[in-house]
Amino acid sequence: MTVQRKINASKKLPNKQALSPTNDRVDRLKGTLPEQISQNELSDLNVALQFLFNDLRQAKSLLISANKKDRKSYILALHAAWRFIILFRPAYREGLIQPLVQLDAALLALDDNNTTPFLEPTSRRGRSVCTPAYSALQGFAAATVHRLRNTELDEKKARRLVADELQKLNVQPTRGSGKITTRTVKGWIERISADVTKTGLAATEYQLVIGKDAKAPIKATPTDVRRYALTALRTFVIGNGLGSPKKKSHLPPSFSRT
């Protein structure tokens, strides 16, 4: 019975090559690393980190290449997290990875059309709550408008270019079943401006992008800067799983910064 369960579970996972690469040394580390690392454990920790980041890179690659409903990248990233954490003695002895393991099992159960109660959506009234990634997108989109305006575009046209790009990527608004419009983008910019403390995720992302541009201005023609700005927006959206292009687009030439 145990063997059969393992076989059935493996059918729901990505192929073996896509999953975590393992070796005897990493397997032996389970539950051995202390909570506070000393010089003696650095070698083992570095091995564990190597596998962790390798798994996360594979998960990121799957996220970009897979369709929007494919859960393999999320499962692989979750596996990477708890497989790394369980190497530490407190996590192993105290069962600290149980919430992650249960989330892992719940994601796998979705393949059998079984929804664990904590994954069921919560009905609420009013505006939908943004996810952290979507909030960051709002800040990045507002920063993209800023970048476009620096190429002598007026704000309305800059908002239109950003909205059009998000539509091409099938990014959905937080409420309703419509599409991203110039008014949507304008609303994001207004909310960021209203964030006086600049501590919200959208405002933080906006400041981060603008700050990078201030330190290292893009050296290119206005047309190329616009291409760069929209390509960066496209990369951000796809990389965070917030949308997917209808067809592949070619990246513009690379740009140098001072």
Q: What is the pLDDT of residues 170-187, one digit of tens each?
A: 998 877 667 899 999 999
Residue 160 belongs to a domain: yes
Residue 208 belongs to a domain: yes
Provide the CA 249 distance to its chain's centre, in angstroms.
Answer: 20
Residue whose C-alpha is closest to residue 184's, from 173, 170, 200, 171: 173
Average pLDDT taken over every residue of the chain? 80
- Residues of the chain with confidence (pLDDT) below 70: 1-25, 66-68, 122-129, 176-177, 246-258
Last residue of a domain, one of 93, 119, 145: 119
Q: Do 214 and 139 belong to one domain? A: yes
Q: What letter represents residue 135's amino acid?
A: S
Residue 126 belongs to a domain: no
Q: Do 141 and 238 belong to one domain? A: yes
Distance between CA atoms of residues 234 and 79, nearest Å: 28
Domain count across the chain: 2
What pLDDT score does 67 carry?
67
pTM: 0.54
What pLDDT score does 181 carry?
92
What pLDDT score does 246 carry?
62
What pLDDT score does 244 carry?
78
Residue 20 belongs to a domain: yes
| Residue 154 three-state SS | coil
What pLDDT score does 182 carry?
93
Residue 127 belongs to a domain: no
Residue 178 belongs to a domain: yes
Q: Do 102 and 136 belong to one domain? A: no
Q: Do 140 and 248 belong to one domain? A: yes
| Residue 176 three-state SS | coil
Q: Do 163 and 68 belong to one domain? A: no
Angle between helices 155-168 and 182-194 (to 10 degrees): 110
What pLDDT score does 162 carry?
96
Residue 97 CB contacts under 8 Å (≥ 6 apart), including other chains = 82, 85, 86, 91
Distance between CA atoms of residues 46 and 42, nearest Å: 6
Other residues' Cβ atoms within 10 Å of the Cβ of residue 245: 13
Place of tokens 């099938």: 170
Range of the domain at 48: 2-119
Q: Do 187 and 83 belong to one domain? A: no
What pLDDT score does 125 carry?
57
Residue 124 belongs to a domain: no
Q: Do 115 and 146 belong to one domain? A: no
Last residue of a domain, one of 119, 149, 174: 119
Q: Do 52 and 27 belong to one domain? A: yes
Q: Is the distance from CB of 59 to CB of 77 less than 8 angstroms?
A: yes
What pLDDT score does 122 carry?
66
Q: Do 109 and 139 belong to one domain? A: no
What pLDDT score does 115 carry?
85
What pLDDT score does 138 carry?
93
Q: Between vectors from CA 51 to CA 100 and to CA 42, what angle results, nearest 5°?
A: 100
Q: Do 144 and 247 belong to one domain? A: yes
What pLDDT score does 101 carry?
87
Q: What is the pLDDT of residues 125-160, one digit of tens each?
A: 555 557 888 999 999 999 999 999 999 899 999 999
Last residue of a domain, one of 119, 141, 173: 119
Residue 61 belongs to a domain: yes
What pLDDT score does 241 carry?
84
Q: Do 115 and 140 belong to one domain? A: no
What pLDDT score does 251 carry?
47
